[in-house]
Chains A and B, each alone.
Chain A
Amino acid sequence: MGLKDVVKKGAFVDILRGMSVTGTYFVVDKVTVEYPKEKLETYPRFRGAQALLTDPETGDTKCVACMLCATVCPSQCISIVGEQTSEGRSHPAVFDLDLARCIFCGLCEEVCPEAAIVMTRRYELATFDKNDFFLDKTALIANQAYAHKELFSRPAGEGAGGAEAPRGAAPGVTPAPAPAPADGER
């Protein structure tokens, strides 16, 4: 054992070095985001609960009940019953999505030819009643309030696949609290 190491070991150098690190953390500002008070902003590509977009004029969904999303879903959690409306346009009479089975993979949003179903930024899905996970058409349309802002900044035809607006702060800077979404949950 070299003398240098005996001295180093005797003077607890490595222990003190470790303590200096925890010491600096003691005084440095903390990184905790206190969840209910401050909420982190989600990124434009975040895949939260789904929503059905509606045409501003007719107020009806853009969905034409082509059953693509129901087929591609790996966990088969979407069930649709299509029907012909009066003007001859086909639209879903029943559009049920079982969030309890959904794995939030985003394949339904990707294959939808009408950009009707979209993943929103709603991630607070905890409820006391299991039936809240069973979203029917009206609940999906109500989810539009949480849709990503970037969707509407481009012409409707573009759909969700286009380039997203840059967002977010550089690492280390605590991000600004997100605007609280409309609380009219149900």
Chain B
Amino acid sequence: MSDQHDNATAAPEVQGSAVSGRPTLEELKERKARSRRRLEHTGEVMTISMGPQHPSMHGVYRAELDLDGEVIVAVRPEIGNLHRGVEKLCEQRTYHQIIPITDRLDYLAGFVMNHGYCEAVEKLMGLEVPVRGRYIRTIAGELCRIANHILWLGVHIMDLGTQTFFCICFRDREYVLDLLEMLTGARLTHSFGRIGGVAKDLPDGFDHRCRKAIDFLPQRVAEYERIVKHNRIYYKRAKGVGIFTSEDCYAWRVTGPTLRSAGVARDLRKDEPYAAYDEVDFEVAVEYNADVYDRFLVRMKEIRESCKIVRRCLDSLPDGPFVARDAGRTLPLKKNVLRDPAAMIQDFYQVFEGPQVPKGEVYRAIEAPKGEMGVYIRSEGGAKPARIRFTTPSFYHGQAVPPLVEGEMVSDMVAIFASIDVVLGDCDR
């Protein structure tokens, strides 16, 4: 926080005035009101459609903008172009078959979606995941988070002007995707989660390669910060732009890095720990100016924290089974199916009958890279869920664009939309 002050090149009106350097809620609201003041004298309004094929709309998000010159007067968002009816599909499939569907939700962090779904099913069944399984889930989850944030940075900076960082970020993301392909078998659509743990154990040589990549990535983050953090143009384009106070975040259910940049240290990995997050200590990245610039700072800190988590998980990786062995509810291990007949019977039972799930409903939320993703499952006791609802962060971030952007300018809409990290697979389900 201290460096926040010495870079006097920041636009003077954004200087924090509170005693501890952190702007109070009223101060943030006053800054937001300043950018809304452009709306008072609106002349003739022109409507443009930042349509589904727009280069910086991160997928098929459509926003109809009413412009007065360059200032945005009104926004009418429109989503649903990537709606695949995931919830209807899930109602026709057993709990094992739903796993490959979930990683198509937020396709930039596939495994995290598997993980969220498996946590909800395990909570519904009351199933205990063995320690090694939880550690592997944490490692894979954090690798997905790193990949997601690096891609976010590349696209965010490309929206501000140059393609250079897009290529640089995608090159660094390649190392993480390599690791995920080695671990799970696919770069994006991992389908690596299983009810009761993970599909396979860590392959040999993964430990060495993972440590090499984890030591290499913080240097890359240092380089990104060296270029972007003190860049005068990034100051002008990001400081004091798109302010969203914590009150707005609660009202519009905006969570994740956007909420943490508004001064609220809310992180489900700390508040409602799951997998191995309670056994690994890490800090929650928090900033206080609630603008695009602070969302960048929060995400860079999160990449560093994720690297730390993965390193700690690798250091204290326990032995033992990586998936729960419970005849009635989990898929058997492939090795056992080929050898002993009991596992083969369990195999047939799980595929034809499906897992036994008690009647009841459950809601489990985890910390996805873009925000809090909650899974609501209502089961009537059968092998197929009666109703599943994926409460994905981008759905609500896409809805929160109007209050975020009104009063700002067109080129700010692009920067703000990128800063809240909306991905349409997540948003339209």
Is there a direct interface between A and B, measured as CB atoms under 8 Å apart in the complex?
yes
Task: Using CB atoms and an 8 Å cutoff, list the residues of chain A in contact with chain B.
Answer: 1-2, 5, 8-9, 14-15, 17-18, 21-22, 25, 31, 42-47, 66, 68, 71-74, 103-107, 110-111, 113-115, 119, 157-168, 170-172
**Interface contact A45-B100, CB-CB below 8 Å:** no
With A21-B223, A72-B351 known as contacts, the answer to whether A171 contacts B337 (CB < 8 A) is: no
- 0/1 per residue, B175-203, Cβ < 8 Å to A? 10010011111100101000000011101
Q: How far is the CB of B5 from chain A (nearest CB, A)?
A: 11
Q: How many residues of B contact A (CB 8 A)?
A: 56
**Interface contact A5-B184, CB-CB below 8 Å:** no
**Interface contact A45-B93, CB-CB below 8 Å:** no
**Interface contact B335-A158, CB-CB below 8 Å:** yes
B201 partner residues in chain A, CB cutoff 8 A: 163
Q: How far is the CB of A16 from chain B (nearest CB, A)?
A: 11
B175 partner residues in chain A, CB cutoff 8 A: 171
With A5-B8, A15-B232, A113-B337 known as contacts, the answer to whether A68 contacts B347 (CB < 8 A) is: yes
**Interface contact B182-A45, CB-CB below 8 Å:** yes
**Interface contact B334-A161, CB-CB below 8 Å:** yes
Q: Is the interface of A mostly helix, strand, loop or mixed?
A: loop
A-B contact pairs, 28 of them (CB 8 A): A5-B7, A9-B9, A17-B226, A17-B227, A22-B164, A31-B174, A46-B181, A46-B185, A47-B185, A66-B348, A103-B100, A104-B186, A106-B185, A106-B199, A107-B191, A110-B334, A111-B351, A113-B337, A113-B344, A115-B334, A119-B185, A159-B335, A162-B335, A164-B203, A166-B204, A168-B209, A171-B213, A171-B216
B335 partner residues in chain A, CB cutoff 8 A: 158-159, 161-162
> Cα distance A100–B238 when bound, in Å?
44
Q: How far is the CB of B179 from chain A (nearest CB, A)?
A: 9
B181 partner residues in chain A, CB cutoff 8 A: 42-43, 45-46
A2 partner residues in chain B, CB cutoff 8 A: 6, 8
**Interface contact A68-B351, CB-CB below 8 Å:** yes
6 more CB-based (< 8 A) A-B contacts, given A46-B181, A103-B104, A105-B99: A17-B227, A31-B171, A44-B203, A107-B191, A159-B337, A171-B209
**Interface contact B338-A159, CB-CB below 8 Å:** yes
Given A15, A44, A157, which contacts B231 in the complex, CB threshold below 8 Å? A15
**Interface contact B9-A1, CB-CB below 8 Å:** yes
**Interface contact B186-A158, CB-CB below 8 Å:** no
A18 partner residues in chain B, CB cutoff 8 A: 227, 231
Within 8 A of A (CB), among B327-352: 331, 333-335, 337-339, 344, 347-348, 350-352
B334 partner residues in chain A, CB cutoff 8 A: 110, 115, 159-161
A46 partner residues in chain B, CB cutoff 8 A: 181, 185-186
> Cα distance A146–B375 when bound, in Å?
39
**Interface contact A14-B96, CB-CB below 8 Å:** no
A43 partner residues in chain B, CB cutoff 8 A: 181-182, 185, 203
With A105-B100, A105-B191, A158-B335 known as contacts, the answer to whether A71 contacts B9 (CB < 8 A) is: no
B316 partner residues in chain A, CB cutoff 8 A: none
**Interface contact A107-B97, CB-CB below 8 Å:** yes
Task: Using CB atoms and an 8 Å cutoff, list the residues of chain B in contact with chain A.
Answer: 6-9, 93, 96-101, 104, 164, 168, 171, 174-175, 178, 181-186, 189, 191, 199-201, 203-205, 208-209, 212-213, 216, 223, 226-227, 230-232, 331, 333-335, 337-339, 344, 347-348, 350-352
Q: How far is the CB of B257 from chain A (nearest CB, A)?
A: 24
Among all A-B residue pairs, the 10 with the closest Cβ atoms: A161-B334, A166-B205, A105-B100, A45-B185, A74-B97, A105-B191, A171-B175, A166-B204, A43-B182, A47-B185
B98 partner residues in chain A, CB cutoff 8 A: 74
> Cα distance A74–B91 when bound, in Å?
12
Q: How far is the CB of A28 from chain B (nearest CB, A)?
A: 11
> Cα distance A17–B228 when bound, in Å?
10
Given A8, A159, A167, which contacts B205 in the complex, CB threshold below 8 Å? A167
B171 partner residues in chain A, CB cutoff 8 A: 31
> Cα distance A47–B100 when bound, in Å?
13
**Interface contact A171-B351, CB-CB below 8 Å:** no
> Cα distance A23–B410 when bound, in Å?
32
